[in-house]
Amino acid sequence: MKTDGSRREGNRDEVSPAVIKRLPRYFRYLRELLRNDILRISSGELSKLMHVTASQIRQDLNCFGGFGQQGYGYNVKYLYGKISEILGVTQNYSAVIIGSGNLGRALASSPIFEKRGVKLAALFDVDPDVIGTEISGYTVLSMDTLEKYTSENPVDIAVLTTPKEVVRETAERLSALGVKGIWNFASREIELPGSDVIIENVHMGDSLMTLCYEINRKNGENR
Amino acid sequence: MKTDGSRREGNRDEVSPAVIKRLPRYFRYLRELLRNDILRISSGELSKLMHVTASQIRQDLNCFGGFGQQGYGYNVKYLYGKISEILGVTQNYSAVIIGSGNLGRALASSPIFEKRGVKLAALFDVDPDVIGTEISGYTVLSMDTLEKYTSENPVDIAVLTTPKEVVRETAERLSALGVKGIWNFASREIELPGSDVIIENVHMGDSLMTLCYEINRKNGENR
């Protein structure tokens, strides 16, 4: 299915970081629409669904050009495909999880990778009691075999759920092995000066603090 | 330990949402400084550490007034205390985890609550095989006892790690029980129109997509 209207052809290089930041949310909503067999939607309807102004939606989505058409609305499938492409979902990146504790298990058993076109390929750990056990269909590999594994199976993304004490050395090791990106869940930010590896530090606690702040503020108002 | 310079007294109501959003990161860095017994720091040093411009730091922190002093720098302990207070860290909110699967376990065994002054009080589940087992020192309670529990133990925050299918009904149930905030990890956004409950939806996958986007962009450049 192709787009119908095409006012101007968009270029991904023109898309601002602010818009890029909002794309995963569009991706999620469009995915849900597709799953419910909704193939077109007006900016007004999308606006209601996402609690964003229709004008914001038009501004964001017109960045890519050629999506909306007067009286027709957005072609959901095309838009989903385009956003997927921009976000790298169509690249089928491969990932490994380093650290097979509770969080590593939770990630391995969730649809988080598959939903975004990322292929989870293996889990690693250092604990002899965990190595060789099966988690969500993966046999946990020893960290001693990481170099051998990556030489045979190119790894795009490493997901770090190790204790913070070993995060830095693990990140350096992964960088040397040619990993392209590190998704870091350890409670210590990674910095690899001079390295080409892209690092995404996850700070789940920041979101807890935002929640606490909002509760605190509301309580203050009610006092 | 009190602040030294005091140009103007800040008011939390004046702090912009953009600054508030950055506060958890300051909190993390200040916490680390304190742990390393660093009691004062210049905006220049903090700037290098956090990879933010010194002028941004001065702008952000001067919102609260009275922190920095020419030639002395910031009083780390005072700043940490003030930010903690604004973020509600000093409120000692109580939390329960609903859903004691891998993610619930990962959260229960992490220092994520304690670090932010939140007291994890209990874990709940619906699975008879999980109810009654011990996780990180907590005996998992049955969801059937949730009403009784909350009537005896006021709960400020509920952490949702349930399957997405039951998220909505669970959120409504928690709202009726007077919970103040919901930290939602389920892969479905919660909306409770007309409810006072503050909801923080966590979308870990969005951060994976950001990483994929950056890898994709870099690959494009290198081509």
Q: Of the segments A28-32, A74-78, B135-139, which one has the largest average pLDDT value?
A: B135-139
Average pLDDT over residues B190-202: 91
Residue A14 confidence class, pLDDT cut points 50, 70, 90: low
What pLDDT, on a 0 to 100 scale, did the predictor assign at position B152?
97
Q: Does B153 touch chain A (CB under 8 A)?
A: no
Average pLDDT over residues A131-140: 97
pLDDT(A51) > 90: no
CB–CB contact B24 A209 (8 Å): yes
* Residues on chain B touching A209 (C-beta within 8 angstroms): 23-24, 27, 87-89, 116
* Residue A137, C-beta contacts closer than 8 angstroms, at least 6 positions apart: none
Q: Does B213 touch chain A (CB under 8 A)?
A: yes
pLDDT(B131) > 90: yes
B35-44 pLDDT, tens digit per residue, is 999 999 988 8
Min distance B126 CA to chain A CA atoms (Å): 18
ipTM: 0.85
* Residue B100, C-beta contacts closer than 8 angstroms, at least 6 positions apart: B108, B123, B124, B125, B127, B130, B135, B140, B161
Q: Does B176 touch chain A (CB under 8 A)?
A: no
Q: Give the amino acid at B190.
A: I
CB contact at 8 A, B190 and B199: yes
pLDDT(A8) > 60: no
What pLDDT, on a 0 to 100 scale, did the predictor assign at position B4?
38
Residue A199 to residue A167: CA distance in whole angstroms:
12
* Residues on chain A touching B116 (C-beta within 8 angstroms): 205, 208-209, 212
Instruction: Tell me how far CA of residue B93 lies from CA of A68, A187, A191, in angstroms.
Output: 46, 21, 33
CB–CB contact B216 A87 (8 Å): yes
What pLDDT, on a 0 to 100 scale, did the predictor assign at position B64?
67
For B157, the closest of A117, A211, A213 (CB atoms) is: A211
- 């892209």: which residue's tokens? A198
Lowest model confidence (mean pLDDT) among A138-142, B49-53, B133-137: B49-53
Instruction: List the single best residue of B156, B208, B219, B223 to mutate versus A (max A Cβ within 10 A).
Output: B208
CB contact at 8 A, A95 and A117: no
- 């003030």: which residue's tokens? B82
Residue B106: closest CA among chain A residues belongs to which residue? A102
* Residues on chain B touching A208 (C-beta within 8 angstroms): 112-113, 116, 118, 183, 200
A103-114 pLDDT, tens digit per residue, is 999 999 999 999
H helix count then E strand count, chain A = 8, 11
Residue B219 confidence class, pLDDT cut points 50, 70, 90: confident
Domains for chain B: give ranges and CATH numbers: 12-86 (1.10.10.10), 92-206 (3.40.50.720)
- Per the DSSP assignment, residues forming a β-bridge with B74 are B41, B68
3-class state of residue A31 by DSSP: helix
Min distance B16 CA to chain A CA atoms (Å): 13
What pLDDT, on a 0 to 100 scale, did the predictor assign at position B155?
96
Lowest model confidence (mean pLDDT) among A86-95, B1-10, B59-68, B109-118: B1-10
